[in-house]
Amino acid sequence: MKHYLSIKDIDNLSEWVKEARILKSQPKADKNLGANKTICLLFFNNSLRTRLSTQKAAMNLGLDVMVMNFGSEGWALEYGDGTIMNQNTSEHIKEAAQVVSQYCDIVAIRAFPSLTDKEQDEAEVVLNGFKKYTSIPVVNMESSVGHPLQALADAITLDEQNTKARPKVVLSWAPHPKALPHAVANSFVEMMGLQEADFVITHPEGYELNEAITQNATIEYDQKKALENADFVYVKNWSSYKDYGKILIQDPNWMMTKEKLGSAKFMHCLPVRRNVVVEDAVLDSDQSLVIEQANNRTYSAQIVLKKILESL
């Protein structure tokens, strides 16, 4: 594997999950694999789980790690071709990407969408800019349209917790006071497409995700119906995709409650706003898997970095 940019880069999900669970049982088994190699983590946005878990995974593999908050510590980047750079950007992605690859063997990047310019967001200028101009493997630590390290951690968590041949998994939209990206939902949907499961997406009308991603998934606008007999309920807010980046409704009836959840397991990528997205009673119960999901971020990153290191 060269890059890990989206769920599409996983050639065999069940095999990866199996290997990740072995890594989890002995995280330091490959501690010489990354010797004399360096990974750069470039953050264009805030991060808690991704920042710590990716560092941890890299250290488990014996990699040297350099962490950089590109926005505040580096230079404002230009992405346009042929731009006369006499405004606010002082370095072009062409140079930045090539330069970073002089100092490390792998680069991991977090770059959120604007949520104002759909075309530019979908072009993934930061991630694809690095991919295009760098000579080293690029790992997506959450881009405009995907968060494949999260979805892989979710797959590990599902595998650990699932007891059925074909579990029912529901992705349920939730209200939120701020406009949020589609990345987590997109990658979860793509990952579920690689699983044996009865998968349903539920959200209010107007909150349809990109059809190119949901084309093979079932969409049920009635949340109650969608949740019937669910084994796992993944709750997540996202802003409208059609009416790009807009908050159409904040209806509190879409919040996940203990009552609605029934006996299903609760999943969320975190951070989560309590009593807005989901009530305390769910998060504080044994049905919540959120901490397990966060824990599995380490092994999701570690299996990805391991595969990249093995093909360097």
Structure tokens at 54: 């990716």
Smallest separation (angstroms) from its own copies to the CB of 258:
14
Q: Is 199 or 234 the residue whose CB approaches its own copies more closely?
A: 234
40 binds its own copies (CB under 8 A): yes
Instruction: Tell which one of 23, 39, 47, 188 touches its own copies (CB under 8 A).
Output: 47
Q: Is 49 or 182 the residue whose CB approaches its own copies more closely?
A: 49
138 binds its own copies (CB under 8 A): no
Main-chain dihedrals φ then ψ at residue 176, nearest 5 degrees:
-160, 140
Query: Could you tell me which of 202, 264, 273 has the C-alpha nearest to residue 232?
Result: 264
CB atoms within 10 A of CB 155: 24
x/- map, 247-276, its own copies, by CB under 8 A: -----------------------xxxxxxx
Q: Is 59 or 192 the residue whose CB approaches its own copies more closely?
A: 59
CB atoms within 10 A of CB 24: 17
132 binds its own copies (CB under 8 A): no
Smallest separation (angstroms) from its own copies to the CB of 216:
32
Binding part of the chain for its own copies, among 14-22, 123-131, 185-193, 288-296 by CB under 8 A, reads 288-296
95 binds its own copies (CB under 8 A): yes
* Residues that bind its own copies in the complex, under the rule CB under 8 A: 28, 31, 36, 38, 40, 43, 46-49, 51-53, 55-56, 59, 64, 66, 68-70, 72-75, 78, 82-87, 89-92, 94-96, 98-100, 102-104, 177-178, 270-276, 280, 283-284, 290-291, 294-295, 297-298
The binding site consists of: 47-50, 75, 110, 142, 147-150, 176, 236, 269-270, 273, 297
Q: Which residues are annotated as a binding site for carbamoyl phosphate?
A: 47-50, 75, 110, 147-150, 269-270, 297
Annotated binding-site positions for N(2)-succinyl-L-ornithine: 142, 176, 236, 273
